[in-house]
Amino acid sequence: MDRMLRLRTRTIIFIHDLVMVLLAWMGAFWLRFNLGVIPEQWLNSAWRWLPVVLVLQGLSFRFYGLYRGVWRFASVPDLVRIVKSAASGVLVIATVMFVIERLEGLPRSVIPLYFGLLTVLLSTPRVMYRIWKDRSTNLRDGRRALIVGAGNAGEALVRDLRRDRDSQFVPVAFVDDDPEKRGREIHSLRVRAACDHIPNLVQRLDIDVILIAVPSATDRQMRRIVEICESVQVPFMTLPSVQELLASGQPVNALREVSIEDLLGRAPVKLDRSNVERHLQGKRIFVTGGGGSIGGELCKQIARFPVEELTIFERCEFNLYKITGALAKVYPKLRVRALLGDVADRCAVEGALAASEPDVIFHAAAYKHVPLLEYQMRQAVVNNVLGTRTVAEAAMGRGVGEFVLISTDKAVNPGNVMGATKRAAEIVLQELNTQGPTRFVTVRFGNVLDSAGSVVPLFREQIQAGGPVTVTDPEVTRYFMTIPEACQLIMQASAMGQGGEIFVLDMGEPIKISYLAEQMIRLSGKRPGEDIRIEYIGLRPGEKLHERLFLDQEHLQPTGHDKLLLAQPEGADLTEIRKHLLGLIDACQSAEEEKILRCLRALVPEFRPDVVDMTMERNLASVA
């Protein structure tokens, strides 16, 4: 039905254009004779050549694609096509008439007159139709919208909103902090003022909704805009970030509610795609913990590159099922091998590596919940330390070219078991890096927004339940990064690493968790302290007020990427490391918690547990 309608519309437009050819041809003769009576000789010549003119000009219209455009969206490219088709038609017509009659039946001035008239008669109806449609769109009912951002995204948003008949928004004005844009008009909408004047404009212009069209804004800029919007009693929405638009392929007018990720993680990462592609192209990739938050996103990011095969090694059957289903839907041609297994199970790990024969291993499998691990030290060590060692040694045994460990800022001067086990895993890789051909690279970063078990989904659940939102301490801060950003930088570090490095991701400024809680409450349409209460419950076992991304003695160095820094770890006594590791293995086999803690503190001297069972602490006083 739609195809028939389009065909009928194009036929009508084609007939319209042929009528314009008739009017232009006869009008050119009329103008030639000063709008008077056309002599019979010339009039007969005009009628005699008219069929030839119609055929040749119609073929020219078709050749230049005059009917690919839509009148509703007529623009400069459409006018260029009109000029080209009219000019080429005139040239062919004149050539044919010259060959047949040497132009004896045609006044020379008719040619340029016909070209000018035809161009005007073809373009004017199209332009007038667009103006009429734009005007009728402006007059339609809808929610009056103030557009924040008069750049390319804002212009495209207004254009698309006006074209969409079903759109519920009617753009009224722009605001922009760029003083050079102030007072200008875009699609007949004026850039009224800077963002600070939003409250005043909302009242003056009777605004119903604020649409934020600054997808390239940094997290700090976005926080400022949102804070201004929160001061007025109207809803606000935003366009996805640049990262999100590129990753999802969403249209530029894909408005959505402002999320906490917009406020804490919008700074775009400039991925050196060509370098990463060269590094991963044609390789077999192995991801441990590939069903988790980081591992799953890493698999999705890797799938965009021309890898030969992606193997996902995951202990949770449901998570493995979910990630393989998601990849099959978006990347049906990608070769995916889904394997169930535990990184601490040497037999399972070696079997998986033998089956997949990977070139690069991304080790994302880890226990990471700080309070939960604080009194389950053996399980934390077995998974995070010995599991890492098991996969790393198996990789060396299979001749894997590269092994990338995903670490955490909690490994720096760790005050909890989780951080100590991750620091121990870093030390294990530093020791193994000298033992064989496998290059071992560590990537260290802070909290990841909306990852499983993180504070964002917890706050979201608490807000939905009506509160209270529980925060450990008013002063506690954390570094935050979005999951896609973190995974892109992991791949970037992999492409840059030569072996033995600890890459630290530039996480920007730390964010107060109390601010995070307040913003999430406001974004839900509630008022912190009134609609939703914030309750401070004190630091949990193993938690610190502030995290750091590197040790003082690591001496951070810049790399070729502005978001990646290189930590320079001090050399370690490999003999001592091996001795402590063997003690740790023996302690885990005998399930002696006190011995596990003693060996862990010997392996990670900077480990200063904040909360340890007092009996255990007394027994270990001599070691401390």
Which residue, of 264, 290, 312, is where some domain finishes? 264
Nearest in space to 455 (alpha carbons), one of 480, 437, 431, 429: 480
Which residue, of 88, 116, 136, is where some domain finishes? 136
| Residue 348 lies inside a defined structural domain of this protein | yes
122 with 227, same domain: the answer is no
Q: Is the confidence at residue 210, as pLDDT, over 60?
A: yes
250 with 340, same domain: the answer is no
Q: How does pLDDT run across 516-574, given as a tens digit for each residue?
A: 888 888 777 778 888 888 888 887 776 777 776 666 655 667 677 767 777 766 666 77
161 with 54, same domain: the answer is no
CA–CA distance, 315 with 446 (Å, rounded to integer): 24
Beta strands 169-175 and 209-212 are unpaired
214 with 292, same domain: the answer is no
Of the CA atoms within 13 Å of residue 294, those in its CB half-sphere come to 30
Can you give 67-133 as a three-state secondary structure string? CCCCHHHCCHHHHHHHHHHHHHHHHHHHHHHHHHHCCCCCCCCHHHHHHHHHHHHHHHHHHHHHHHH
How does residue 72 score in pLDDT terms, banded at 50, 70 and 90?
Answer: very low
pLDDT (0 to 100) of residue 321? 95
Range of the domain at 17: 2-136
| Residue 169 lies inside a defined structural domain of this protein | yes
280 with 401, same domain: the answer is yes
Residue pair 395/318 in contact (Cβ under 8 Å)? The answer is no
Q: How does pLDDT run across 441-457, given as a tens digit for each residue?
A: 999 877 777 666 567 77
414 with 459, same domain: the answer is yes
CA–CA distance, 121 with 573 (Å, rounded to integer): 86
455 with 582, same domain: the answer is yes
Residue 317: count of CB within 10 angstroms of its CB: 11
How does residue 624 score in pLDDT terms, banded at 50, 70 and 90?
Answer: very low
596 with 471, same domain: the answer is yes
| Residue 618 lies inside a defined structural domain of this protein | no
Beta strands 564-567 and 502-505 are antiparallel
Q: How does pLDDT run across 220-263, given as a tens digit for each residue?
A: 788 888 888 888 888 888 876 545 544 444 444 466 667 666 67
| Residue 431 lies inside a defined structural domain of this protein | yes
Which residue, of 264, 287, 310, is where some domain finishes? 264
| Residue 620 lies inside a defined structural domain of this protein | no
418 with 455, same domain: the answer is yes
126 with 196, same domain: the answer is no
165 with 127, same domain: the answer is no
Sign of CA pseudo-dihedral 196, 202, 207, 210: positive
CATH number (domain holding residue 190): 3.40.50.720
Q: How does pLDDT run across 465-497, given as a tens digit for each residue?
A: 888 888 888 888 887 777 777 888 888 888 888
535 with 550, same domain: the answer is yes
Q: How many domains is the chain built from?
A: 3
Give, in order, the Cα–Cα distances in Å from 217 to each of 238, 266, 344, 506, 527.
11, 7, 43, 18, 25
| Residue 616 lies inside a defined structural domain of this protein | no
pLDDT (0 to 100) of residue 492? 87
| Residue 613 lies inside a defined structural domain of this protein | no
Q: How does pLDDT run across 296-327, given as a tens digit for each residue?
A: 999 999 999 999 999 999 999 999 999 999 99
* Mean pLDDT on 567-590: 80
| Residue 151 lies inside a defined structural domain of this protein | yes
